[in-house]
Amino acid sequence: MKKKRIFGVSYFSTRDKRHFAEDLREIKDAKFSYIVHTFSERDFEFYAKSVEELVSLTKKAGLVALADPWGVLRLFGGEEYSKWLYVFPEIRQKRHDGSEGYGACPNNPKTIELLEKWIDKVSEIGFDGIFWDEIHLDDISCFCETCNDYFIDEYGSGMDHAPSSIIREFGMMSKRRLLEHLFSYSKKKGLTNTLCVLPNTSLEEIESYIYLRDLDVFSLDPYPKVLKGNFAQFMQKEVPYLLKRAKQKNLQTELWVQGFSLKKDEIGYIDYFFSLIKNLDIDRVAIWSFRATESMSYIRPEAPELVWKRFLEYTRRDGRAV
């Protein structure tokens, strides 16, 4: 029997509840079951009540609402700036060459404090869970004083003369340590945890995230824009392997479809994607983002309407209505 999946979509087109109400009708009619609402630092400071209204409408419509730390502290993915990095410059990552990184240090106590406050606000607003989106570092690790102290505790000496393999291992460990703390904190607030990993790193690192405590959903966004010529191989080899490991840990699984930066002659990729996952045990499929990201000219496809319609053919055919 054909497996019915649930479908999701990310949303950041407006903070106006009247316009969102119209978009929400389209989203529900297309058999989407959940919305990933971006919730940036700017939203935290200026639009919290507005986002709360969108979340309330989402849940009243019977859909699940997830919060995305969009560009928060530049530790997570998203086309958004971080004010907190300028207010608290001491938390910036430091690269191996001594230059300042663009994101916050994952080991800095202030970073953790700010992310806890962000989770507190997400909980107050009424979100169902958090979509932790593409955690990343600017280098293979952060090389600040805080990280060096952690490194000494872990390895017995400083980072200056350590081999790159050990530095990389420490960078991976730093990200995992932070995520486990955040997962635990959000879990206590009654929130679910979805972790989306961008496949631009090693298979070893991607697989390691599956074993984090308090993780509910393991997600991948194998975008052709990122994978380039390796898209087919990753989808045919690495994706089935990772999904199998996630299922062994009793995690739900999710894959994202690229709905941005596509040229007209690339729209067929959506059909190819669905042909590749036809027999895979995937619980959720989502698209970034609503109406194929037509509201963001920076990454708008050449024909967003065609991209969106092509994806909706699959939600209406395979989607499980809420």
Task: Report the predicted TM-score, pTM, of the whole model to 2 decimal places.
Answer: 0.97
Question: What pLDDT is stored for residue 173 in this prediction?
Answer: 98
Question: What pLDDT is stored for residue 122 in this prediction?
Answer: 99
Question: What pLDDT is stored for residue 320 in this prediction?
Answer: 63
Share of the chain above pLDDT 90, in %: 97
- Residue 194: half-sphere exposure toward Cβ, Cα within 13 Å: 29
Tens of pLDDT, residue by residue over 195-208, are 999 999 999 999 99
Question: What pLDDT is stored for residue 319 in this prediction?
Answer: 73
Mean pLDDT by 10 residues, the chain (322 residues): 81 97 97 98 98 98 98 97 97 96 97 98 98 97 98 97 97 98 98 97 96 98 96 97 98 98 97 96 97 97 98 88 44
CA gap 277, 124 in Å, rounded? 37
Question: What pLDDT is stored for residue 321 in this prediction?
Answer: 45
260, amino acid identity: F
Helix, strand, coil percent content, the chain, rounded in steps of 5: 50, 15, 35
Answer whether 120's CB lies under 8 Å from 65's CB.
no
Question: What pLDDT is stored for residue 2 in this prediction?
Answer: 53
